[in-house]
Amino acid sequence: MESAIPAHLRATRTQPAAMSEGHTPPFPAWATRFDPLIGQVVMAYFGVQSAATPGIEALAPITSLFSLPDGPGYWDPAHCQDAAGFHNLIAIAYWSDPVTFERWRQESGFDAWWNDPQRLTEQVGWFIEIVSPTTDRFETLQASLGAPEGVSHLAKSLSDNPVQEHGYWGSVRDRFAIAQTDPLQGEKPKASTFSVQSRVRLPGRQNLCLIRSGQDWAATRDKERHLYLQDIQPVLEEGMTYLRDQGRALGCLSCRFMRVLDTTTGEPLEKSFGLAHFDDLAHLEEWAKTHPTHLAIFGGFMRYVRALDFQVALRLYHEVSVIPADAQCFEYINCHPGSGLLRS
């Protein structure tokens, strides 16, 4: 095994680690390895919101620009229905540096389109949720080889060996390079917002925590497929719905349980992910460690892998970021007040 923190980001630890001496993970998992020259990435969520189910073409004003120079290194679309019954179709796009992203915004015509007053007159809502963490401020974990997801598409490889920092409470924090020296405490957001008619821009908040945690069951068969669809997926959906509807008391600002779509046809794939924003990493950790909804998810998964003797085709992954206030951009146009971080 090896450390989840790459060699060039290791530092003398001044913050305590949660991993016990001699810890052995219950199953193998790998971290992605980025070129050391990549110092900061962009994770951009472009969304359209409507009362009726939108087709994949509803994102075309944005996604048609992805193929232009300086477009994202990877993107995928996903859909969910929120607590108010509105449909949210999102293109999640990743850039390997903010300079390229900003150049794309300007030269592709996206900024001109986004800022056009016509957006305020349309019958749909639009939103952007953009974070730009440095590489010491996000961590990734994959439970299988050969199928990168999300920001891992920008990485040069996976770790050569399984990583040691997983399979125990607190392991997420232990995988953050910055957590070696920084407690990553959150703060309340500034009260001010920029608002013109139906366009609202939210201020950043220090050490906002974002998690994308996904499941791919396309390769499951027979017993495993039955176990996943009958025992795991319903419990997972219940937990994500709880965070969506009642998570504010737990420090969860927003939660969407999303179905990944085919980029061409818009048909749903056998892939999903939970996308949630928390006040800070500590609130995510507290929910994961103590709340019945997550304990049910974690316990169900452990029973699942044991029933299959740890030989599973289900692919799991996550990416977690802790973002400084000045590396966040959240803006909503014609969206209902419970949308995304507007709820907070």
Residue at 13: amino acid letter: R
Distance CA(96)–CA(210), nearest Å, equals: 18
For 144, phi then psi, to 5°, come to: -150, 165
Say how many CA atoms lie within 13 Å of 285 toward its Cβ: 15
* Of 86, 84, 163, 96, the residue nearest 125 (C-alpha): 86
Residue of 166, 277, 294, 318 with catalytic role: 318
* Tokens 């400084």, residue located: 324
Enumerate the β-bridge partners of residue 43.
94, 131
Measured distance CA(105)–CA(62) in Å, rounded: 10
Can 294 be counted among the known catalytic residues?
A: no
Q: At a CB cut-off of 8 Å and minimum separation 6, what does 249 contact? A: none
174 and 320 in contact (C-beta within 8 Å)?
A: no
Q: What are the residues whose beta carbons fall under 8 Å from the beta carbon of 186, sequence distance 6 or more?
A: 205, 206, 207, 208, 209, 279, 280, 281, 282, 283
Residue pair 125/334 in contact (Cβ under 8 Å)? The answer is yes
Helix (H) or strand (E) holding 249: none
HSE, CB side, 13 Å, CA atoms: give it for residue 337. Answer: 2
Cα(338)–Cα(74) distance, integer angstroms: 29
Active site residues: 318
